[in-house]
């Protein structure tokens, strides 16, 4: 089968969407399918800057959300041309759009399309502050979401809550296929911890808490910093390492300075995905402190799955899809969102009881191998493609 994965966003970029596409491509190709990717990155640079990003930026300054709508529509138009040309050359059996506007682009290009829904496009824009709740742009974007979900041949959601959202909002029945990881790439390597720490200049005897998250409000990235004073009173030599970028970075830095722990909070920015396995292996714990934010709730976090696959104990907030992948005190720990005391207690518990953490990590790896492999996920995707081609 000839398959095209399409998105109006950049590819590759640091984040879950690019990771999903790369890993799905690998899984599909392992089954003998031919897979291509088309993204906004393939649009000529001058068009990206002068036709899309520049005008969108200035429009958003005058009317929150208007620029986002313009930006998305323009990206879709440009992507449509790329998909149409590629489809004429290769005649794809299926285009798997990764967002609302890639769906429109694919339909307009005359290609058969199914859509993977990774989240809540409108509510995520509200959570980021790029749209105002109840505004005309927000209402328009919600309608665009609904139309895309109704026009695509089939929607695929990455967790049960998003499946329910599509049913309620657009009246469509979706197929749920959880997020997944490359189990051969993200596997236990804690025996390399000291060597890796030497390589990256980390102290071999310190404890490191890894937060592999985009620095945005819904990811709750401020809460590990807030929990640090309690943690340090019981375990003195602990460091926080953030891998990601976003609007919350300034707040994290300010709060760490205010608490006098700036030297213990390390914001390393976006790192190449192929290096992430090293950071998991170097860390003692993985933290996924997600929160509810303006109607947005965490799906089956790829970062959580990677931490579990890498054999590192995971502590996550008890929200959204995280509750679907983590069984509390079996293969990880779940804590109440925004509860820094409970988060601190869970962290201290695992740092002080390494055997318990190791048991959780072993069970987590078993679950990943059984249920969240990119190979089994690819088979599920092919089943969906086949079902709408008949």
Q: Are residues 161 and 270 in the same domain?
A: no
pLDDT tens-place string over residues 167-206: 999 999 999 999 999 999 999 998 999 999 999 999 999 9
Question: How many domains are contained in the chain?
Answer: 2
Task: Tell me whether strands 175-176 and 94-97 are parallel, antiparallel or unpaired.
Answer: unpaired
- Asked if residues 212 and 276 have their Cβ atoms less than 8 Å apart, the reply is yes
Using the 8-state DSSP alphabet, how is residue 164 labeled?
Answer: H
Query: Domain for residue 206, yes or no?
Result: yes
Query: Domain for residue 127, yes or no?
Result: yes
Residue with structure tokens 């089994």? 376
Tokens of 358: 């190791």
Q: What is the DSSP string of 326-388?
A: --BTTTBEEE-TT-HHHHHHHHHHHHH-HHHHHHHHHHHHHHHHHH-BHHHHHHHHHHHHHHH
Task: Tell me whether strands 94-97 and 113-117 are parallel, antiparallel or unpaired.
Answer: parallel
Q: Are residues 30 and 158 in the same domain?
A: yes
- Asked if residues 12 and 5 have their Cβ atoms less than 8 Å apart, the reply is no
Q: Are residues 163 and 252 in the same domain?
A: no
Query: Domain for residue 135, yes or no?
Result: yes
3-class DSSP state of 216: coil
Query: Domain for residue 347, yes or no?
Result: yes
Query: Domain for residue 185, yes or no?
Result: no
Closest by CA position to 285, among listed 385, 363, 204, 354? 354
Tokens of 31: 């089954």
Tokens of 100: 């609302």
Would you give per-residue pLDDT tens digits along the chain (390 residues)?
A: 999 999 999 998 877 899 999 999 999 999 999 999 999 999 999 999 999 989 888 887 777 789 999 999 999 999 999 999 999 999 999 999 999 999 999 999 999 999 999 999 998 888 888 889 899 999 999 999 999 999 999 999 998 889 999 999 999 999 999 999 999 999 999 899 999 999 999 999 999 999 999 999 889 999 999 999 999 999 999 999 999 999 999 999 999 999 999 999 999 998 888 899 999 999 999 999 999 876 677 777 899 999 999 999 999 999 988 998 999 999 999 999 999 999 999 999 999 999 999 999 999 999 999 999 999 999 999 999 999 986
pLDDT tens-place string over residues 11-27: 988 778 999 999 999 99
63 Cα distance to chain centroid: 28
- Asked if residues 242 and 256 have their Cβ atoms less than 8 Å apart, the reply is no
The range of the structural domain enclosing residue 346 comes to 190-371
Q: Are residues 242 and 173 in the same domain?
A: no
Q: Are residues 55 and 103 in the same domain?
A: yes
According to DSSP, the residues that pair with 208 across neighbouring strands are 239
Tokens of 339: 């509860």
Query: Domain for residue 312, yes or no?
Result: yes
Q: Are residues 37 and 137 in the same domain?
A: yes
The structure's pTM equals: 0.83
Q: Are residues 17 and 118 in the same domain?
A: yes
Q: Are residues 151 and 216 in the same domain?
A: no
pLDDT score at 235: 97
Cα separation, 353 vs 260, in Å, equals: 27
Query: Domain for residue 170, yes or no?
Result: yes
Is residue 175 classed exposed, middle or buried when 0-12, 13-18 and 19+ CB atoms within 10 A define those classes? middle
CATH number at residue 361: 3.40.50.2000
Q: Are residues 342 and 194 in the same domain?
A: yes
- Asked if residues 347 and 231 have their Cβ atoms less than 8 Å apart, the reply is yes
Query: Domain for residue 81, yes or no?
Result: yes
pLDDT score at 58: 83
376 Cα distance to chain centroid: 19
Cα separation, 18 vs 42, in Å, equals: 14
Closest by CA position to 207, among listed 67, 64, 341, 354? 354
Q: Are residues 218 and 144 in the same domain?
A: no
Cα separation, 247 vs 348, in Å, equals: 28
Q: Are residues 90 and 231 in the same domain?
A: no
Closest by CA position to 208, among listed 346, 304, 351? 351
pLDDT score at 14: 72
pLDDT score at 169: 92
- Asked if residues 37 and 97 have their Cβ atoms less than 8 Å apart, the reply is no
Query: How many Cα atoms are found within 13 Å in the side-chain-facing hemisphere of 215?
Result: 21
Q: Are residues 206 and 275 in the same domain?
A: yes
């Amino acid at each position: 089968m000839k398959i095209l994965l399409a998105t109006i966003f950049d590819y590759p970029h640091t984040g879950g969407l690019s990771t999903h596409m790369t890993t799905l491509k690998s899984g599909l190709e392992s089954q003998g399918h031919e897979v291509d990717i088309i993204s906004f990155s393939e649009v000529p640079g001058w068009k990206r800057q002068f036709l899309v990003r520049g005008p969108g930026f200035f429009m958003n300054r005058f009317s929150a959300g208007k620029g986002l709508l313009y930006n998305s529509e323009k990206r879709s138009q440009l992507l449509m041309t790329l998909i149409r040309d590629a489809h004429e050359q290769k005649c794809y059996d299926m285009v798997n759009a990764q967002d609302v506007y890639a769906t429109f682009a694919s339909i307009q290009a005359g290609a058969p399309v199914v859509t993977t829904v990774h989240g809540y496009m409108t509510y995520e824009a509200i959570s980021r502050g790029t749209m105002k709740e109840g505004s005309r742009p927000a209402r328009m974007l919600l309608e665009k979401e609904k139309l895309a979900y109704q026009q695509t041949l089939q929607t695929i959601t990455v967790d049960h809550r998003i499946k329910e959202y599509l049913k309620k909002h657009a009246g469509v029945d979706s197929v749920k296929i959880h997020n997944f990881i490359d189990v051969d790439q993200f596997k236990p390597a804690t025996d390399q911890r000291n060597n890796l720490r030497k390589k990256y200049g980390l102290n071999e005897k310190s404890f490191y808490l890894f937060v592999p998250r985009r620095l945005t409000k819904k990811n709750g990235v401020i809460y590990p910093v807030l929990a640090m004073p309690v943690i340090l009173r019981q375990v003195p030599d602990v460091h926080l390492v953030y891998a990601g970028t976003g609007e919350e970075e300034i707040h994290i830095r300010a709060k760490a300075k205010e608490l006098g722990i700036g030297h213990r909070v390390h914001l390393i920015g976006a790192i190449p995905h192929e290096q992430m396995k090293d950071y998991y292996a170097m860390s003692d714990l993985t933290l996924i402190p997600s929160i509810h934010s303006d109607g947005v709730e965490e799906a089956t976090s790829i970062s959580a799955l990677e931490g579990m696959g890498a054999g590192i104990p995971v502590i996550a907030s008890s929200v959204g899809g995280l509750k679907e992948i983590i069984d509390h005190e079996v293969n990880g720990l779940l804590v109440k969102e925004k509860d820094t005391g409970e988060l601190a207690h869970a962290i201290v518990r695992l740092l002080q009881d390494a055997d318990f953490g190791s048991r959780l990590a072993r069970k987590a790896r078993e679950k990943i191998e059984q249920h969240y492999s990119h190979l089994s996920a690819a088979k599920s995707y092919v089943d969906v493609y086949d079902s709408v081609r008949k």
